[in-house]
Amino acid sequence: MPIATVNPANGETLRTFDALGEEEIERRISAAASTFRTYRTTGFSERARLLNRAADLLDEDQQDIARTMTTEMGKPLAAARAEAAKCAKAMRWYAAQAERLLADEHPDDADVKDSGATKALVRYRPLGTVLAVMPWNFPLWQVVRFAAPALMAGNTALLKHASNVPQTALYLGDLFSRAGFPDGCFQTLLVGSGAIEAILRDPRIVAATLTGSEPAGRSVASVAGDEIKKTVLELGGSDPYLVLPTADVAKAAETAVTARVQNNGQSCIAAKRFIVHTDVYDEFAERFTARMRELTVGDPLEESTDVGPLSSEQGRSDIEELVDDAVGQGATALCGGRRPAHLGEGLERGWFYEPTVLAGITPDMRIHREETFGPVATLYRAADLDEALDIANDTSFGLSSNVWTRDEAEMDRCVRDLEAGGVFFNGMTASHPALPFGGVKHSGYGRELAGHGIREFCNATTVWYGPGPDAR
């Protein structure tokens, strides 16, 4: 895949970039390793000063970087601005909280006395240079939610971003440099996916984090495993959205629209499978479908646009294949199910797809098993909570989940039985700096954000003190 900015709204190639050569890759890896030796000794206050400066610069750049993201991958401009603001918020959160999150842990002296220690503690120390392999769908947020904690912990970072968002990738490297981080602290590598293995096998790279597809995760994890290096993987999701009899159905349906089409439906944590109790199914389906049908599809740079294009022609083709397979096997398209017509001058070659609701899904359909990365929702009718949970867990993924109910017993049951990294009641899944983020099953392992995320790339060091020379 070429490293290029191709506007998904019209298919126009705006800029192309040459991949870095081996000599330049070597120079940047060497700089990262060298910088780590000194940067690791800086205090939290200095790291926080630098990260807060990066947040301030990002706020100043918000409009420009939002337009860059929209032009590169198609998200509506308002969503791009919100993404930039969220990144600045996360930077400030980690700048304020990192020292507390990585404070020494002191077990009770009585608990360690039988080991012969006079005292013991756990200290979190940075690991070194971490390789981040990041996707295009949230091209700023996916990187910042790794970089902010990694840099505050004292690590250095190398970013291999998706090849269709090179200008956003270069912006990130420039942002941390302008903020005053030492040379080599955070660097962008414009390279193709074929270069990842050699970089990851370099002994100066101590760990890796990847957000992306299941095949990409398998590839990086296998190389890292062979090299015995730590990885954190956040892969796909096919999140269930349960609506039970005591739910506020009107609010559940309204929220469901945003939960499904956020980022043009291209989000791992977007709700994708809507599992509705039979008592409220008809009302939910009617309200949900009506709102999906009302959404404005068009130029993502227009403020009135709700849903922009898919990020690539292949992405749209993948969606079309899933929908066609389902309809061919008996599913009903309550709305959408095709490319939109008459979007306006200049948009005819864009990779748009109508917001779609499919009912009558069966386990034999591909869309029941595979992740749907676009504005397509699948509707299921469940006779009771048991069946709803069975449908929800009938997937290889386990990223997050949403449940609408006022019944506390049902809430407890869902927390116990849903196979997911998160359970969100009466609202939609969202990531937040203070809450851990990640999944189970084929959605990956490890956690980002919160204290869990900053400690992923730290050496949890046991420090043991024996009796001194004057001990009796």
Q: 97 near 107, Cβ under 8 Å?
A: no
Cβ burial of 284 (10 Å; 0-12, 13-18, 19+) is: buried
Question: What SS3 state is found at 129?
Answer: strand
Q: In whole angstroms, what is the distance from residue 221 CA to residue 114 CA?
A: 40
Q: 323 near 356, Cβ under 8 Å?
A: yes
Q: In whole angstroms, what is the distance from residue 168 CA to residue 75 CA?
A: 13
Q: Which pair of tokens denotes residue 211?
A: 């957000």
Residues whose CB is less than 8 angstroms from the CB of residue 188 and which lie 6 or more positions away in sequence, other chains included? 159, 161, 169, 170, 172, 173
Instruction: Please indicate whether residue 335 is annotated as part of the active site.
Output: no
The DSSP bridge pattern shows strands 239-243 and 186-188 to be unpaired
Q: 145 near 448, Cβ under 8 Å?
A: yes
Catalytic residue among 234, 371, 410, 448: 234
Question: What SS3 state is found at 414?
Answer: helix
DSSP state letter for 230 = E
Nearest C-alpha neighbor of 185 from the set 120, 111, 126: 126
Cβ burial of 363 (10 Å; 0-12, 13-18, 19+) is: exposed
Q: In whole angstroms, what is the distance from residue 207 CA to residue 155 CA?
A: 10
Residues whose CB is less than 8 angstroms from the CB of residue 121 and which lie 6 or more positions away in sequence, other chains included? 104, 105, 106, 107, 463
Instruction: Please indicate whether residue 302 is annotated as part of the active site.
Output: no
Residue type, 194: G
Calculate the CA 422 to chain-centre distance.
13
Beta bridge partners of 332: 359
The DSSP bridge pattern shows strands 12-16 and 4-7 to be antiparallel
Beta bridge partners of 158: 131, 187
Catalytic residue among 87, 268, 335, 458: 268
Cβ burial of 174 (10 Å; 0-12, 13-18, 19+) is: middle
Q: Which pair of tokens denotes residue 459?
A: 């050496």
Cite the active site residues: 234, 268
